[in-house]
Amino acid sequence: MAAGTSRTGTMTKQTVRGYTVALSLLGFTGAWTAIAGDPWPSAPASTAQTVAADDPRIAALDAREAALRRRTADVQRIVATRTAQAAQPPPVRIVTLPPVTQTTSS
């Protein structure tokens, strides 16, 4: 070992660094948990319903949304039907033709 250096100083620095990293991770995890828990809840639903009942524009948007949802369901049903039909092979038809006759003239 070199003169003037001690092994305990190095070990103490590593221990302090380890505790610093551990506490930083613990603080980060705690902050993440607090934010993910939605500490600022949005407005209650009753207020939004009251505004929708008072404003005819919002009522019109709600009616438009309902109509679009119905149309979307219809389109999805049609697409599913067409996809199922496209997946089936075309039917096989057996056709009998009359015999070919040849005549010769002299």
What pLDDT score was predicted for residue 58?
A: 86
Q: What is the 3-state secondary structure (H, E, C) of 56-98?
A: HHHHHHHHHHHHHHHHHHHHHHHHHHHHHHHHCCCCCCCCCCC
Intervals of the chain under pLDDT 70 = 1-11, 39, 41-53, 106
> How far is residue 5 from each of residues 10, 13, 16, 39, measured CA to CA in Å?
9, 13, 18, 51
How many angstroms separate the CA atoms of 39 and 31, rounded? 11
pTM over 0.95: no
- DSSP element (H, E) containing 49: helix 45-54
